[in-house]
Every structure is written in structure tokens, then in C-alpha cells.
Amino acid sequence: MQIYNAPLRDMRFVLNELHQDDGFGNLPAYADITPDLTEAVLEEAARLCQNVLLPLNRSGDEEGCHFEAGKVTTPKGFVEAYRQFVEGGWNALVTPPEWGGQGLPEAVGKLVEEMICATNVSFSLYPGLTNGAIAALTVYANDALKQAYLPKMVSGQWTGSMCLTEAHCGTDLGMLRTKAEPVGDGSFKLSGAKIFISAGEHDLTENIIHLVLARLPDAPKGVKGISLFLVPKFLPDAAGNPATANGVTCAAIEHKMGIKASATCQMLFDGAVGWLVGEPNRGLEAMFTMMNAERVGVGIQGLGIGEAAYQSAVWYAKDRVQGRALSGVKRPDLAADPIIMHPDVRRMLMTMRAYNEGCRALSGWVARALDAEKHGGDAETRERAADLVALMTPVVKALFTDLGLESASLAVQTYGGHGFIRESGVEQYMRDARIAMIYEGTNGIQALDLIGRKMPAFMGRYLRSFFHPVSNFIEANAGESPIAPMVAGLKRAFETLQGATSVIAQRALKDPEEAGAAASDFLRLIGLVALAYCFAKSAKIAAQRLAEGTAEAAFYTAKIQTATFFYDRLLPQTVACFFAIKSGKGSTMAMDEAAF
């Protein structure tokens, strides 16, 4: 059974208590955003997600999208749900006020995203792609394109898509073949085919604005010859309304293992009219603005699914009775005890809970950095925030989606045989979660980005944006305190991370395959240390609140208990990561290709 109640208390903890010492707060741009306002936003978002989106999650998965004669129809209820979504202003929540957006902080927006993804990740992709396109156009489009397209995309009247992948090139975009021929009036005609295009065609809006990577006639080979173009499904008339069908068609939709209510399209461009976004041959730079926004968003998908899977598993573990507790009968009024009494079931539930709370805490820090990167009061704050965002974007994308799938799998295991049956609802979480580890750059690519680009950048400056806060926290909280064991554990894990960083840096200078072989383990290692840092901070605050005699003792006690479980049972993974990194590439690369 799919169960979800937005974890609003924990969200408020992350938003209002946890990261107040990070130097990214008190931004003038958000001076009018009061706690009462954010509380109202989160509560209203929870109602929308629980009452409108969640009921469509399973039915949308069962029905899927329909394709006929180039047209895509979304499952029953999606058009009405999208109407309610945009009328409530949710599409415009964090977008720029100058284009009709509400301009709320990302720190709030990411919490709302989590609720949307927890209740209906397929639905989340339609507005999610639109907001990624808005981010790219806001930075790189000329004023004419912004005036023509951003207001309707911000309002949700029009949606967006990103068209990168072609059948012969996924990650290696330097191989793409889609062409853009100049017409002479400032526009271009694009021809080519794209695959795996989320929200490329649907019936939710009257127009879809595609951001398309293509090559100009004189473009150099490789990624240095890629340009970005805005290509609408319908060309607007003088009044700005969709009028003329452009040369953009959907040839088919994919039949997928998950996110079945999201239209994943094969798109054809046959002399489609488009306009250049940004500078010629620098399209990848512009598209990465959209992709990086999407990568953080995909990480939130993993968190959302993990939370929904956890809540569903808790409901079942309390309801299902099997066997007697090892310590003696707990419910003599029943034929057997609820399975939540069994230690191994507790292990699974606590693992899911710890991963969700840890990821929510880390995403809250990154979201604050996203806000400070744009609106920080001084250059030093903006640079430090940008460095943390750059470093943590691949971590959020890969770690959160890895853990989201793990939580979904644990939910299925908690249900046992019933979890393997579609009617339980939890097997959908496992199917939906799997794609998040693949799109927007596979998790292996995220690890290579972390270790190949982010780690050595500016002589390690990105790393310092994370290492310094952790080091300062350890130093400030050494000695006797309620969280002394956690600080000691964090210190050991941090030293392990520093050691791994040194090993990789030395070996990679001689052999880049050494870095490649270590990449995924390093990403998991830095991610676990980041979660440990957030948990130690959480436990410190919780201990302080309990010492003050808070009326919410149950919440803060549970926070310490969850943090303790993470340190006892999950953080030791860092040692295994370090051993794997130190083993080098030898056994990974030794086998001859023909032997596989």
C-alpha cells in the first residue's frame, strides 16, 4: 500500500534549525520570506501532493501514456492535476519574479520538490523539465526570447524539454548529428532525431518549448562545436499565441520499466524553426545550466521515493503479524507479533529512515548554497556557495538515487512476497527509482565528474568548501559533550576521506585509469561523510533542545537515535570504500577483453 504523509516536522528542522551556522542565510533577496510564510507553503504543498498527486501515482503507472498519430495522452487525471498545480502557482514557486515567478528560496523549493517526487515522480518530470529550461533561458537567452517565452513557461502555460541524446550518442555528446542551418533572418532550421526525451510530447499544455543541441554548418568537431537552440512545438503568432505547427513531431514513446506516466519520446526535427540560445558553438555550456539544475532535482527524486518507500514499509511492518518477538511475546491478544518487533525488520526500517533524514539534511545545505550563490551579499560568500554546489551536485545526484533505490528495495523486502506483487504498490517505487541512477548523466558519470573535474579544480578549492566546515565542526566540538562519540566517529571518517583523496590525487597523476577505478567508491565515501556531518550537527541541536526541556522531546530523541544508528551501522561503509580505493585499478582492469 502506498502511504505518504509529508515529513513536515523534519522539513522544518532542516529549514529553520539545522544549517543556521553555514554563512548562507540572512539573504536580502529573501528578507520578506518569513517562517509563517514557508510553513504555509509547505503545508499547502503537502495537501496538494497527498490529495491530488498520490492518488494518481498507482493508476498512472497502471495506465501509462498513450501514443497515437504523433500525439501523446497522459493517464486519466493528469491534465486536471496539472491544471490545479499551475493554478496554485507551484510551477512558479522559485522562478524569477521578473518573469512572473514567486521567487521563493531553493531551500523551500527543494522540500516541495521532495513531496512531489514522493507522491508522483512521473508527474514531477513535466514541471521539472520546464524549470530546468527556465534556468538555462534566464541565463543565456537574449531579451527577445526571454520576453516571448519565459512568462508562459514560468506560469506553467507552456512546458519545456531538453533534447540532447541521439541513438548513437548518449554521454558522448560530441558525436551528435542534429544540424542547424541559418535561414538569414536570425532563425535556424533544425533537422535530426533525438531519443529519451522526457516530456517531449504530451497533452498537459498548449505548447512545448524544446531546448535542442545541434551543430551549425561550420562547427568544429566534438563538444566544442555544439550549439543550443530554442525550438517551440508551435510557432507563436504576433500576439504570442501558439499558431503554426513547427517541424517537430513525436515518432514514438518508450515502453519502460518505470515512470510510465511520464512520456519518454523519440523526437524528429524536420526543418524545425529555432533560435540560438547563447553563443554559437557554446551550447553545452548553456545546456549544463539546465542539466545541473536537473541533476540536483533527480537526486531529490531518489529522496522522495525513498521517503515514500519507508513510510509504506513502516505501515506494513506495524500491520503485518508473523512469528513472535525474540525477546518474548509482545502482543498476546494477536496470533503473532507485528513484524516491526523483529530486529532485522528494524534494521531495514532504520536504514531507510537514516538515509532519508541524512539526504534531506544534506539537500537542505546544498539548497541554501544555491540561494547564496545567486543572492549572497558579498563575492566571497557567493564563491564559497558556488564551490559547494559544484562539488555536491554529482554527490546529490548519484548518492541520493543510489540510496533511493536501496530504500525501495528494502521496502519490497519488508513486505516479503506481498512486496513483489503489484497490488502492494511498493514494487512501483523500485521500478520508478531505477531510472534516476541513469538519466541526467549516469551515476558512474557523476563519479567521474566528481573525481576528474571537481576534485582537482582550482587546486582543490571546491573540496575546501566542504572540508573546512567539517574540520571546523570537529575541532569546535572535540571533548566531552553528549555527541562526543559521534564527533569521534566523524573525525575517523573524515580522516579516511582525506586519506582517500591523497591516494587518488597521487595515483591519478601517473595513470588516469586509477582515478576512474576509484571514482564510484570515492563518491560514496564523500557522500557518507557529508551525511555524517549533517547527522552530527542534527544530534548536537537535538541534545541542546532536550537539555532546554523542549515540548517536542519525542522528535528530538528520535533524531539522536537515528543519527546513532547511522554512525553505528552505516558510516562504517567508509572503511570498505577506502580499502577498495587503495586496491587500485589492478583487478578491475586486468582481465583481457576477450575473456568477458
- Whole-number pLDDT of residue 480: 83
**Given pLDDT bands bounded at 50, 70 and 90, which one contains residue 364?**
very high
**CA–CA distances in Å: residue 495 to residues 365, 388, 395, 467, 514:** 22, 19, 19, 10, 21
Residue 173 has pLDDT above 90, yes or no: no
**Catalytic residue at 552?**
no
- Whole-number pLDDT of residue 568: 98
Convert the pLDDT of each residue in 425-454 to its tens digit. Answer: 999 999 999 999 999 999 999 999 999 999
Site of grid cell 555528446: 173
Nearest to 232 by CA among 261, 210, 255, 247: 210
* Mean pLDDT, the chain, integer: 95
Instruction: List the grid coordinates of 56.
Output: 494518481
Q: Given 106, 114, 294, 440, which residue is catalytic? A: 440
Nearest to 155 by CA among 230, 212, 206: 206
**Given pLDDT bands bounded at 50, 70 and 90, which one contains residue 348?**
very high
Convert the pLDDT of each residue in 98-121 to its tens digit. Answer: 999 999 999 999 999 999 999 999
Cα(50)–Cα(306) distance, rounded to whole angstroms?
16
Site of grid cell 566523524: 490
* Domain definitions of the chain by residue range: 461-584
Contacts of 336 (CB under 8 A, 6+ apart): 321, 322, 323, 324
Contacts of 121 (CB under 8 A, 6+ apart): 259, 262, 301, 304, 305, 432
- Three-state DSSP class for residue 171: coil
What is the number of other CB atoms lying within 10 angstroms of the CB of residue 96? Answer: 17
- Whole-number pLDDT of residue 323: 95
Instruction: List the grid coordinates of 549.
Output: 526541556
Convert the pLDDT of each residue in 138-148 to its tens digit. Answer: 999 999 999 99
Residue 10 has pLDDT above 90, yes or no: yes
The whole-number average pLDDT for the span 27-31 is 94
Residue 171 has pLDDT above 80, yes or no: no
The whole-number average pLDDT for the span 291-310 is 93
Instruction: List the grid coordinates of 561.
Output: 537515535
Tell me if 202 sits within 8 A of 263, measured CB to CB: yes
Secondary structure of 133-186 in the HEC alphabet? HHHHHHHHCCHHHHHHHHHHHHHCCCEEEEECCECCECCCHHHCCCEEEECCCC
Percent of the chain scored above 70 by pLDDT? 100
- Three-state DSSP class for residue 244: strand
Convert the pLDDT of each residue in 200-242 to its tens digit. Answer: 999 999 999 999 999 999 999 888 899 999 999 999 999 999 9
Cα(530)–Cα(32) distance, rounded to whole angstroms?
31
**Given pLDDT bands bounded at 50, 70 and 90, which one contains residue 292?**
confident
- Whole-number pLDDT of residue 99: 96
Residue 311 has pLDDT above 80, yes or no: yes
The whole-number average pLDDT for the span 62-84 is 97
- Whole-number pLDDT of residue 7: 98
Element at 179 (helix H, strand E): strand 179-182
Tell me if 398 sits within 8 A of 523, measured CB to CB: yes
Handedness of CA 469, 472, 476, 482 (dihedral sign): positive
Tell me if 533 sits within 8 A of 470, measured CB to CB: yes
Contacts of 562 (CB under 8 A, 6+ apart): 350, 353, 354, 357, 535
Convert the pLDDT of each residue in 483-502 to its tens digit. Answer: 999 999 999 999 999 999 99
- Whole-number pLDDT of residue 9: 98
Cα(482)–Cα(495) distance, rounded to whole angstroms?
22
Residue 150 has pLDDT above 90, yes or no: yes
**Given pLDDT bands bounded at 50, 70 and 90, which one contains residue 289?**
confident
Contacts of 511 (CB under 8 A, 6+ apart): 585
Amino acid at 560: I
Nearest to 256 by CA among 65, 14, 500, 10: 65
Residue 381 has pLDDT above 90, yes or no: yes
